[in-house]
């Protein structure tokens, strides 16, 4: 099977790029299975925990959480398994015994594919705790810190009036905090409307119950537009009387992009950009469910490139990669919004067609594929003419699992191989 990459022809980042985002991210990232056991992690986790990834593999993430936080940590994990991801704050135990407060978030690899596991993103919160402690100790010390950190620090009273905005807001949000008008701004003036209720509830709960909060939302930068922001809030009391709340805002736009790219890597083929086998399995289950509940039939096509091994052997893997990429592009162009194209590996592809349900319609679709794929492909070394063999099944039977329909399409493809190449066979399942 051809696995080499020709990055010069790819618009999307390579697999190596994605690994760098994971391994070199300054926040700790571990991957968990549905039981909460660790099976991978990055360098930042090793620094944060004092342990190597090899020491942590096959252990539960709860092994590194202090006893009093384990229940809450497990609840957050279960919420993520059920599709609800939220940020929380737990104390982790360093190998040396040091207790490290951290802001954490469990991120499902995709909402509809929970069984594949989660990412656990861990951010060292000692900086936030240090700043809040410093403020309680001395308002002067707080001001010195606030004016010299990159995060934006904001003070608000119980009426949600702005008492202070640190100078770093000029860089992070693009507005000047030094003028006198900032105290006249409306509460949450630069918060995206979709997050107003969330921040208001978090703010009120912090005042009423004295509970710090950490939330992720979008805030407006005056020139860049909406940016992802992590906002932590710590209520400050004097003899049980609320004085103000300390808000610390951090631009996490890059982190969010990295998380999205990590998720993308988990469900897309790095050579073609098409969905991979894992993504295909999710969509197939969803499509079968529609068949079972709504009676919506569909078609499934398995196909590969004829004589692909000879292309690799004759012209090398780079030419083979270019053929795979061009083939994927052409198939995707034909399918468009009528279904899903996925690369299973090597020169093997699969298509789910949502609205093509009769044998005549499938034949017309296959004819389009054959007409398009037979056109010459120009690689760096030569021009290549290719054909493909296609096995199709029209799926109408309810209450069958994925393997039933896949096997049916596979039998159809085997029928083609028995008779020769550049052919197709259609059956019903």
DSSP 6-54: -GGG-SSPPHHHHHHHHHT-SSEEEEE-TTSBEEEE-HHHHHHHSS-HH
Is residue 263 a part of any domain in this protein? no
Give yes or no: residues 238 and 340 share one domain.
no
Average pLDDT over residues 19-25: 63
Task: Give yes or no for residue 68 having a pLDDT over 70.
Answer: yes
Give yes or no: residues 284 and 422 share one domain.
yes
Give yes or no: residues 408 and 309 share one domain.
yes
Average pLDDT over residues 133-156: 63
Task: Give yes or no for residue 217 having a pLDDT over 50.
Answer: yes
* Band of residue 135 on the pLDDT scale cut at 50, 70, 90: low
pLDDT reported for residue 19: 57
Give yes or no: residues 117 and 49 share one domain.
yes
The count of residues in the chain is: 429
pLDDT reported for residue 2: 38
How far is 377 from 369, CA to CA, in rounded Å? 14
Average pLDDT over residues 122-137: 71
Burial tier of 371 (Cβ tally within 10 Å: 0-12, 13-18, 19+): exposed
43-57, 142-156, 282-296, 305-319: segment of lowest average pLDDT: 142-156
Is residue 237 a part of any domain in this protein? yes
pLDDT reported for residue 374: 83
Give yes or no: residues 120 and 139 share one domain.
no
Task: Give yes or no for residue 140 having a pLDDT over 70.
Answer: no
Average pLDDT over residues 88-115: 82
Burial tier of 155 (Cβ tally within 10 Å: 0-12, 13-18, 19+): buried
Give yes or no: residues 157 and 212 share one domain.
yes
Is residue 174 a part of any domain in this protein? yes
Read out DSSP for 128-171? HHHHHHHHHH-HHHHHHHHTTSSSEEEEE-TT--EEEE-TTHHH
10-14, 190-194, 376-380: segment of lowest average pLDDT: 10-14
pLDDT reported for residue 178: 53
Give yes or no: residues 321 and 373 share one domain.
yes
Tally of domains in the chain: 3
Task: Give yes or no for residue 205 having a pLDDT over 70.
Answer: yes
pLDDT reported for residue 10: 37
Task: Give yes or no for residue 134 having a pLDDT over 70.
Answer: no
183 or 127: which carries more pLDDT confidence? 127
Give yes or no: residues 390 and 333 share one domain.
yes
Question: How many beta carbons lie within 10 A of that of residue 279, not counting itself?
Answer: 20
* Final residue in a domain of this structure, among 255, 284, 306: 255
Q: Return the top range by mean pLDDT from 175-179, 221-225, 407-411.
A: 407-411
Contact 106, 77 (CB under 8 A): yes
pLDDT reported for residue 14: 46
- Give the domain CATH number at 405: 3.30.70.270
Give yes or no: residues 276 and 413 share one domain.
yes
Residue 215 is part of which domain span?
Answer: 128-255
* Final residue in a domain of this structure, among 90, 124, 158: 124
pLDDT reported for residue 419: 85
Is residue 318 a part of any domain in this protein? yes
Instruction: Say what the pTM is.
Output: 0.50
pLDDT reported for residue 394: 94
The tens digit of pLDDT for each residue in 251-274 reads 988 888 888 788 888 889 989 999
* Final residue in a domain of this structure, among 77, 103, 124: 124
Give yes or no: residues 277 and 379 share one domain.
yes
pLDDT reported for residue 175: 73
Task: Give yes or no for residue 111 having a pLDDT over 70.
Answer: no
pLDDT reported for residue 380: 81
pLDDT reported for residue 383: 85
pLDDT reported for residue 181: 53
Give yes or no: residues 209 and 277 share one domain.
no
- Give the domain CATH number at 42: 3.30.450.20
Task: Give yes or no for residue 146 having a pLDDT over 90.
Answer: no
Task: Give yes or no for residue 5 having a pLDDT over 50.
Answer: no
1-5, 104-108, 366-370, 420-424: segment of lowest average pLDDT: 1-5
Average pLDDT over residues 61-66: 94
Average pLDDT over residues 13-35: 69
Average pLDDT, the chain: 84
pLDDT reported for residue 13: 40
Q: ∠ CA 266-272-273 to the nearest 5 degrees? A: 45
Task: Give yes or no for residue 142 having a pLDDT over 90.
Answer: no
Is residue 261 a part of any domain in this protein? no
95 or 265: which carries more pLDDT confidence? 95
Give yes or no: residues 120 and 162 share one domain.
no
Question: How many beta carbons lie within 10 A of that of residue 325, not counting itself?
Answer: 20
Task: Give yes or no for residue 127 having a pLDDT over 80.
Answer: no
Task: Give yes or no for residue 323 having a pLDDT over 60.
Answer: yes
Is residue 260 a part of any domain in this protein? no
């Amino acid at each position: 099977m051809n696995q080499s990459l020709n990055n010069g022809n790819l618009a999307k980042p390579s697999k190596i790029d994605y690994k760098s985002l994971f391994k070199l991210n300054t926040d700790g990232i571990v991957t968990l299975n549905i039981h909460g056991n660790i099976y991978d992690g990055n360098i930042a986790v090793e620094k944060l925990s004092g342990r190597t990834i090899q020491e942590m593999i096959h252990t539960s993430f709860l092994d590194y959480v202090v006893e009093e936080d384990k229940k809450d940590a497990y609840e957050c994990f279960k919420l993520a398994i059920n599709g609800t991801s939220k940020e929380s704050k737990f104390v982790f135990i360093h190998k040396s015994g040091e207790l490290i407060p951290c802001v954490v978030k469990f991120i499902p690899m995709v909402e509809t594919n929970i069984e594949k596991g989660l990412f656990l993103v861990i951010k060292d919160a000692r900086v936030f705790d240090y700043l809040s402690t410093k403020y309680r100790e001395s308002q002067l010390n707080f001001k010195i810190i606030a004016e010299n950190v990159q995060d934006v620090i904001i003070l608000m009273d119980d009426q949600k009036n702005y008492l202070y905005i640190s100078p770093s807001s000029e860089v992070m949000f693009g507005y000047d905090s030094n003028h006198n008008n900032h105290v006249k701004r409306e509460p949450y003036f630069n918060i995206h409307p979709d997050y107003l209720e969330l921040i208001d509830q978090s703010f009120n709960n912090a005042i009423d119950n004295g509970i710090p909060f950490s939330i992720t939302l979008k805030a407006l930068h005056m020139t860049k537009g909406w940016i992802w922001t992590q906002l932590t809030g710590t209520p400050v009391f004097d003899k049980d009387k609320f004085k103000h709340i300390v808000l610390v805002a951090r631009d996490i736009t890059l982190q969010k992009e990295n998380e999205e790219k990590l998720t993308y890597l988990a469900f897309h083929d790095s050579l073609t950009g098409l969905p991979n086998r894992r993504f295909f399995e999710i969509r197939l289950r969803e499509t079968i469910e529609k068949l079972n509940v709504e009676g919506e039939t569909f078609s499934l096509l398995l196909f590969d490139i004829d004589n692909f091994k000879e292309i690799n052997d004759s012209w090398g893997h780079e030419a083979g990669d270019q053929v795979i990429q061009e083939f994927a592009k052409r198939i995707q162009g034909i399918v468009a919004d009528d279904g899903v194209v996925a690369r299973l590996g090597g020169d093997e592809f699969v298509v789910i067609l949502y609205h093509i349900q009769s044998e005549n319609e499938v034949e017309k679709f296959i004819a389009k594929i054959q007409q398009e794929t037979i056109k010459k492909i120009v690689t760096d070394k030569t021009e290549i003419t290719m054909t493909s063999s296609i096995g199709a099944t029209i799926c109408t039977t309810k209450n069958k699992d994925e393997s039933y329909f896949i096997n049916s399409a596979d039998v159809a493809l085997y029928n083609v191989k028995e008779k020769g190449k550049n052919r197709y066979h259609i059956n019903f399942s």
